[in-house]
């Protein structure tokens, strides 16, 4: 496939990945702030978007090397990057559907490993770097952040016990500042990742183009070891900011309410621990995933206050997602790479699979919509096999459902069939009827109702 | 004759344990320090006994604690922006 055709397509797919990275990770900075009420949900994502945008413009140092030595860069072709992006996007969307916070960096690295393995075999992948730069940090990040958050929470609660008046307000203020810094750090690292991907493709495509025609120059040509084009920085910055602003409410619900019920001092401790871990790791050259750091910090703060209130089942699901991220993304990336290297037909097939997968995931997600309005209403993200039943979409001629208080009808749990079944025969209705027309009438009414069923 | 491939070469792992230890210690110490300063600030800002508001010295001490917290956060911002230290 000619570079003139493949380059614009890969740039668009890279920006789509950047967008998914934004909405997948917006929870990292803002989940605890939204859960504790430090920020209103829409204000939180708007601020996170602005911080990500600023972060993306702060530096382009990370952008110079995308693979961080995990694979042999000289083997990476535009098709390989395309396949890796497809694998990472699909994994990001699947984990978003289930509301699981998994690392976008691990998704792209896993997909890149799979794509290079298929293309060049085992010698194209540096397994030692995978252990030192992916697996070990994935183990360390949640433990370190969890420990820091645990200690911070113990200290904060000791202080709050002695000085409850006005403390919450100050902790909320501290939480706001910490979460904004986490957003900024995220933009600095992840915004540049996409710039790096696009730059890598541009350099590879330029070399291919100039092999045929040494003097060839187009709007996208780029020499090796040069900084990203200004338009690449601009597009990547806006894509991640737009993605962040779009919310990622499903993951925000899991992180804010699904792992542990958190209060302001806990939110403050978790955000402070996350901020410290991210800043220390990025400054000392030991990169940690923002997702792993924040998830570990939330678990740490939950354990510090009331260990029995920590939702271990959610933590377990999250852990499974973390373990699966690398191999699953590698599998999709490998398959996509195999297809994409088969020619135009294979490339188009991969593109079609991506579009179909995205549409299918969107449809399934819309059956149990999570938004800024209901992000704090439940602790679990449900994936429904059948369309949700709600009084608005499927009017049921049932007096009990029709007479539900407005608060309950709007509640997301009321849209699940299970909850509707339970709500069909509320106790208070019996009592009310008993008091009005007597026990006998009530008995008749009940038996008639059950026969009708 | 071709050189046999050393299959163990890709597994020669080099981990920067020193950087890892530094990250762990800095993270724990920094977050504990911020939490302690905020807790102290809260303690100072809380009125003692029957008083409606904290005494002047307590207000000053509380403000100093908040100021120190802000300094740590500003240092974090300084570390985050490469322009300042490169």
**CA nearest neighbour of A379 among A218, A291, A260:** A260
Tokens encoding B83: 């322009």
Cβ contact, residue pair B39, A159, below 8 Å:
yes
Q: Is pLDDT above 90 for A243? A: yes
Domains contained in chain B, number: 1
Distances (CA, A) of B69 to A87, A375, B64: 42, 31, 9
In a domain, residue A211? The reply is yes
Report the share of chain A in percent with pLDDT over 90: 33
Residue B4 lies in a domain: no
For residue A178, the chain B residue with the least C-alpha distance is B73
Q: Which residue from A158, A283, A288 is facing B39, i.e. has the nearest CB?
A: A158
Q: What is the mean pLDDT of residues A207-221?
A: 81
Asked if the C-beta of A309 comes within 8 angstroms of chain B's C-beta atoms, the answer is no
Phi first, then psi, for residue B53 (nearest 5°) are -135, 160
Q: Is the pLDDT of residue B1 over 80?
A: no
Pick the range with the lowest mean pLDDT from A295-299, A370-374, A416-420, B55-59: A416-420
Print the domain residue range for B28. Answer: 22-85
Do A351 and A241 belong to one domain?
Answer: yes
Instruction: Give the per-residue pLDDT at A448.
Output: 47
pLDDT per position as a tens digit, A368-388: 888 888 877 776 777 776 655
Residue A116 lies in a domain: yes
Q: Is residue B81 part of a domain?
A: yes
Gap from B51 CA to chain A (nearest CA, Å): 13
Identify the weakest region by mean pLDDT among A308-322, A344-358, A412-426.
A412-426
Mean pLDDT of A282-288: 74
So what's the pLDDT on residue A386? 61
pLDDT band at B16 (very low <50, low <70, confident <90, very high): confident
Alpha carbon distance A258, A381 (integer Å): 8
Q: Are residues A361 and A426 in the same domain?
A: no
Q: Which of A83-97, A150-164, B34-48 has the lowest mean pLDDT?
A: A150-164
Does residue B1 sit within a domain? no
Cβ neighbours of B26 in A, within 8 Å: 276, 280, 284
pLDDT of residue A411: 53
Determine the residue among A55, A71, A154, A159 to mutate to test chain B binding: the one whose Cβ has the most chain B Cβ atoms within 10 Å.
Answer: A159
**Residue A51 clears pLDDT 90, i.e. is over it:** yes
Do A358 and A412 sit in the same domain of this protein? no
Whole-angstrom Cα distance, residue A261 to residue A314?
12
pLDDT tens per residue, range B65-83: 999 999 998 888 888 787 7
Say if A385 falls within a structural domain.
no
Do A341 and A429 reside in the same domain of the chain? no
* A5-19, A336-350, A431-445, B32-46: the lowest-pLDDT one: A431-445
Given an 8 Å threshold on Cβ–Cβ distance, is B80 in contact with A147?
A: no
- CA A80 to chain CA centroid, Å, is 24
Q: Could you give the number of structural domains in chain A? A: 2
CA–CA distance, B86 with B79 (Å, rounded to integer) = 10
A434 lies in the same domain as A319: no
Burial degree of B72 (CB within 10 A; 0-12, 13-18, 19+): middle
In this predicted structure, the answer to whether residue A82 has a pLDDT above a threshold of 60 is yes
Substitution target in B27, B29, B83 with the highest count of A β-carbons within 10 Å is B27
How many angstroms separate the CA of residue A129 from the nearest CA in chain B?
7
Question: Which residue range(s) make up the domain with A338?
Answer: 3-366
pLDDT digits (tens, 9 = 90+) for A147-170: 999 999 999 887 555 546 578 888
**A263 & A343 share domain:** yes
Are A350 and A422 members of one domain?
Answer: no
Establish if A50 belongs to a structural domain: yes
With a cut of 80, say whether residue A278 has pLDDT above it: yes
**Is the domain of A239 the same as that of A124?**
yes
Mean pLDDT for chain A?
81
Tell if the CB–CB gap between A284 and B15 is shorter than 8 Å. Answer: no
C-alpha closest to that of A254 among A208, A315, A213, A341:
A315
- Partners of A71 in the beta sheet? A125
Determine, yes or no, domain membership for B74.
Answer: yes
- A288 CB within 8 Å of a chain B CB: yes
Residue A452 confidence class, pLDDT cut points 50, 70, 90: very low
Same-domain pairing of A405 and A333: no
Q: Mean pLDDT lowest for which of A16-20, A28-32, A161-165, A429-433?
A: A429-433
Q: Are residues A414 and A301 in the same domain?
A: no
Contact assignment for A152 to B34 by CB distance below 8 Å: yes
Residue contact B23–A288, C-beta within 8 A: yes
Residue B36 and residue A277: Cβ atoms within 8 Å? no
For residue A408, give Cα distances in angstroms to A339, A369, A390, A433: 49, 16, 11, 21
Residues of chain A above pLDDT 70, percent: 80
Calculate how close chain A gets to B3, using CA atoms only, in Å. 15
pLDDT confidence band for B37 (50 / 70 / 90): very high
Asked if A291 and B37 touch (Cβ cutoff 8 Å), the reply is: no
Residue A217 has pLDDT above 90, yes or no: no
What ipTM does the predicted assembly reach? Answer: 0.83
Cβ of B42 within 8 Å of Cβ of A268? The answer is no
Residues 6+ apart with CB under 8 A from A225: A64
Mean pLDDT for the stretch of residues A66-80 = 76
- Residue A394 domain-assigned (yes or no): no
Q: Looking at the structure, do residues A166 and A255 belong to the same domain, yes or no?
A: yes
pLDDT of residue A150: 94
The answer to whether A240 faces chain B, any CB pair under 8 Å, is: no
Final residue before a domain boundary, out of A366, A382, A407: A366
């Amino acid at each position: 496939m000619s570079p003139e055709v493949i380059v614009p397509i890969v740039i668009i797919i890279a920006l789509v990945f950047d967008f998914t990275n934004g909405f997948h990770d917006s929870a990292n900075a803002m989940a605890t702030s939204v859960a504790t009420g430090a920020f209103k949900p829409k204000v939180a994502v708007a601020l996170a978007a602005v911080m990500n945008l600023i972060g993306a413009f702060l530096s382009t140092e990370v952008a110079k090397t995308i693979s961080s030595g995990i694979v042999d860069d000289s083997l990476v072709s535009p098709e390989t990057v395309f396949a890796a992006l497809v694998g990472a996007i699909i994994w990001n969307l699947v984990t978003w559907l289930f509301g699981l916070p998994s690392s976008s960096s691990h998704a792209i690295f896993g997909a890149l490993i799979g794509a290079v393995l298929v293309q060049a075999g085992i010698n194209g992948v540096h397994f030692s770097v995978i252990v030192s730069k992916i697996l070990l940090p994935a183990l360390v990040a949640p433990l370190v952040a969890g420990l820091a958050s645990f200690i911070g929470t113990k200290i904060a609660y000791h202080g709050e016990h002695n000085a409850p008046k006005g403390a919450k307000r100050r902790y909320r203020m501290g939480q706001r500042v910490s979460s904004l810094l986490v957003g900024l750090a995220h933009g600095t690292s992840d915004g540049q990742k996409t710039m790096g991907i696009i730059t890598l493709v541009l350099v590879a495509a330029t070399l291919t183009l100039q092999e045929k025609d040494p003097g060839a120059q187009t709007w996208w040509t780029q020499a090796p070891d040069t900084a990203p084009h200004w338009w690449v920085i601009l597009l990547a910055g806006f894509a991640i900011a737009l993605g962040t602003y779009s919310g990622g409410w499903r993951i925000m619900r899991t992180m804010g309410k699904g792992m542990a019920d958190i209060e302001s001092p806990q939110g403050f401790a978790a955000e402070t621990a996350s901020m410290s871990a991210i800043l220390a790791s990025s400054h000392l050259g030991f990169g940690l995933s923002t997702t792993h750091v924040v998830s570990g910090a939330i678990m740490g703060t939950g354990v510090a206050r009331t260990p029995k209130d920590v939702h271990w089942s959610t933590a377990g699901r999250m852990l499974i997602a973390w373990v699966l991220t690398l191999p699953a993304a590698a599998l999709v990336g490998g398959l996509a790479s195999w297809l994409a290297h088969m020619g135009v037909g294979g490339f188009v097939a991969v593109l079609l699979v991506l579009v179909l997968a995205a549409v299918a995931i969107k449809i399934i997600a819309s059956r149990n919509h999570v938004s800024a309005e209901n992000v704090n209403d439940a602790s679990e993200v449900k994936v429904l096999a059948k369309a949700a039943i709600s009084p608005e979409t499927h009017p049921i001629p049932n007096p009990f459902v029709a007479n539900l208080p407005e608060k309950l009808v709007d509640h997301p749990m009321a849209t699940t069939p299970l909850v509707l079944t339970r709500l069909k025969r509320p106790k208070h209705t019996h009592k009310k009827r008993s008091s009005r027309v007597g026990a006998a009438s009530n008995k008749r009414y009940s038996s008639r109702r059950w026969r009708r069923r | 004759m071709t050189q046999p491939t050393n299959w163990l070469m890709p597994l020669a792992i080099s981990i920067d344990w020193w950087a890892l230890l530094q990250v762990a210690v800095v993270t724990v110490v920094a977050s504990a320090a911020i939490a302690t300063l905020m807790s102290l600030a809260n303690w100072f800002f809380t009125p003692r006994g029957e008083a409606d508001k904290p005494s002047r010295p307590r207000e000053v001490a509380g403000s100093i604690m908040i100021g120190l917290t802000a300094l740590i956060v500003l240092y974090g911002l300084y570390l985050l922006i490469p322009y300042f230290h490169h």
